[in-house]
Chain A
Amino acid sequence: MTSVDLSIQLCNLTLRNPTILASGILGTTKALLKRVAGNGAGAVTIKSVSREPREGHKNPTVITFEGGMLNAVGYSNPGVDAAAREFSCLQEVNAPVIASVIGTQKEDFARVVEGLSGAKFSAIEIPLSCPHTPGFGLLAGQGTPEATFAITSEVRKITQLPIFVKLSPNIPEICTIAKAAEDAGANAITAVNSMGPGMVINIEAKKPVLDFKVGGVTGDALRPIAVRCVFDLYKAVKIPIIGVGGISTGRHAIEMMMAGASAVGIGTGVYYRGIEVFKKVCEEMAQWMEENGFDKVNKIIGAVHD
């Protein structure tokens, strides 16, 4: 292929390229993580794990619209004990694996992180920003600077792994929340979670399509908002930022990195371009860099601020 260097440093992790499988997409089993890593992802994130098993919302849970996707899966997951079994022997996955951990109380986060400590995760992500699951994220008041500080501090006490705090694009003072996370010992900010919630109504049925009625909006519609959040965060915090929201091409990834992201999460991109999206994005990034005189991808990070 090309001679450009796509590898990046994220906290203490070296990623062969900046693409990361975002949480909630395909991260249900180790077999799928292996497949995504085999398709070129620089790192992969598991589907969020809570203390107890959860079946999530009823179907329809995931639909698309002209501007992207709408989901209210409702954090279905097998609970920490079964997840610890599923994600043992993570060295079989050819990329660092990030554990996404959720809870209702701050103690729940700690309990889950502890429960997963035997598995070889490379980092812990705590999303405090889900817009569509009662008891979690925004619907549990976790999207405030105080709650973010408290939860991040609790997790900090029990793990040496890098902690990524995932934030909502909904909140105008996203930088204040990011600073609270940084102050509590977070090692990176993941920006952003899905926005909204939004609603799609089937006019013949005269009913919202999602069974939970509302769901988080991702994909193309989210991208300009995510880019703006990352742009603002780059100036506000010193810790690295993982930019997530509507990235499905190399140009999108470069745009996000220019705004200030050290790495990019890809989720809905799997819908737009298949499981091969990671490989495609990397190839397109490399090609663009060659054409535009960049030899190392880390030189792009924050370029728009120069």
Chain B
Amino acid sequence: MIEQPRMVKICDVVEESPGVKTFFFKSDLDFVPGQYIMVWIPLIDEKPFTISYIQKDIVGISVLKRGVFTHALHKKKAGDLIGIRGPYGKGFNLQANSNSCVVGGGIGMASLTTLVDRLTDATIIQGARTVSEIIYRKRFPGMKLCTEDGTAGFKGTTVDFLMELLNTQTYSKIYTCGPEKMMYKIVDLAKKQQIECEVSLDRYMKCGFGICGQCDCSGQRVCIDGPVFNTTELNKMEDFGKIDILKTGERVNIHNR
């Protein structure tokens, strides 16, 4: 396997919300939900994104406009080329009839979409700051919504919502992706009810195949040992929910970021 980007042609661009676009391209990627690809824009940068759509040989990634790279990506149109390499990492452990709950926060929802596609009867929860940031509403009609300002669904965080939900409902598994503080609270909540969690972590990445050490989280390489970790693994990862790692490699308090 040669770890180099191959160029693919964007065939469609769909606006999911004012800040999020999905870019579709043709590719024969063989991947497990939760895995990611490195996306390259020549002369700009390369960043990891999870696959958010897969229909036969058409693959999509959903991208929140945030920094220099994602601004450049948002300018791309159908017909433009981007480089991709991967898929990389360890994805979710799928249990089709597992009575699962899936909790996405912000753009973290994108990492969970292909998982939701393969689960039956999962409860899907999406949290956002406000209604305009909600994505995939048509795609997952039964999705429970939480907004911090109450403009859609439950007023409050996904953690508050889940806490109430767990009074009347139980699950054998919770899958989550979103801000790490949110995921930390969900794992904590789930532990009290003996529900196993799988979370998808985000760290600044370089190589993607486990050699540079940039994405360390307590000795686990998020790029290859993760990005998905389960409760048992997270119990041994002291940095989870507490420490992030800067581009320089400095470990810093996640709450100060």
Residues of A participating in the B interface, judged by any CB pair closer than 8 Å: 24-29, 31-32, 34-35, 47, 53-56, 58-66, 69, 71, 73, 76-79, 82, 86, 200, 202, 204-205, 207, 209, 211, 267-268, 270-271, 274-275
Contacts and interface: CB of A to CB of B under 8 A. Distances in A.
A20 to B, nearest CB: 16
Contact of A270 (B47, B211, B247): B211
Contact of A29 (B83, B206, B219): B219
A107 B247 CA distance: 25
Contact of A205 (B83, B205, B251): B83
B250 interface: yes
A200 B214 contact: no
Given A34-B219, A64-B4, A204-B81, A53 B211 contact: no
B248 interface: yes
A207 B212 CA distance: 23
Given A202-B42, A205-B83, A62 B251 contact: no
Contact of B250 (A53, A211, A268): A53
A79 B212 CA distance: 17
B202 interface: no
Given A55-B247, A202-B4, A204-B7, A62 B218 contact: no
A270 B209 CA distance: 10
Most buried by B among A63, A77, A200: A63
Contacts, number: 128
Interface in B154-199: none
Interface in B198-237: 205-207, 209-214, 216, 218-219, 221
Interface in B23-42: 38, 40, 42
Contacts of B6: 202, 204
A25 B213 contact: yes
- 10 shortest interchain CB distances as A-B pairs: A78-B250, A31-B219, A59-B46, A28-B213, A204-B7, A62-B207, A207-B42, A26-B213, A64-B3, A53-B248
A32 B5 contact: no
A224 B45 CA distance: 33
Given A62-B211, A204-B81, A28 B249 contact: yes
A27 B207 contact: no
B94 interface: no
Q: Is the interface of A mostly helix, strand, loop or mixed?
A: loop
Contacts of B210: 270-271, 274-275
Contacts of A200: 4
Contacts of B221: 26, 32
B246 interface: yes
B214 A28 contact: yes
14 contacts: A24-B212, A26-B221, A28-B212, A31-B218, A54-B248, A62-B3, A62-B206, A62-B207, A77-B249, A202-B6, A204-B81, A207-B43, A209-B40, A271-B211
B7 A28 contact: no
Contacts of B83: 202, 205, 209
Contacts of B2: 64-66
A61 B213 CA distance: 13
Nearest to A38: B219
Contact of B216 (A28, A55, A76): A28
A60 B212 CA distance: 12
Nearest to B4: A63
A73 B211 CA distance: 12
Contacts of B207: 61-62
A54 B214 CA distance: 13
Given A28-B213, A29-B251, A65-B4, A35 B219 contact: yes
A32 B209 CA distance: 15
Contacts of A59: 38, 40, 45-47, 205-206
Contacts of A77: 248-249
Nearest to A70: B4
A25 B211 contact: yes
A52 B43 CA distance: 26
A26 B220 CA distance: 10
B45 to A, nearest CB: 5
A32 B43 CA distance: 31
Contacts of B239: 31
B244 to A, nearest CB: 12
A248 to B, nearest CB: 12
A16 B212 CA distance: 25
Contacts of A63: 3-4
Given A77-B249, A202-B5, A32 B212 contact: no
B250 A60 contact: no
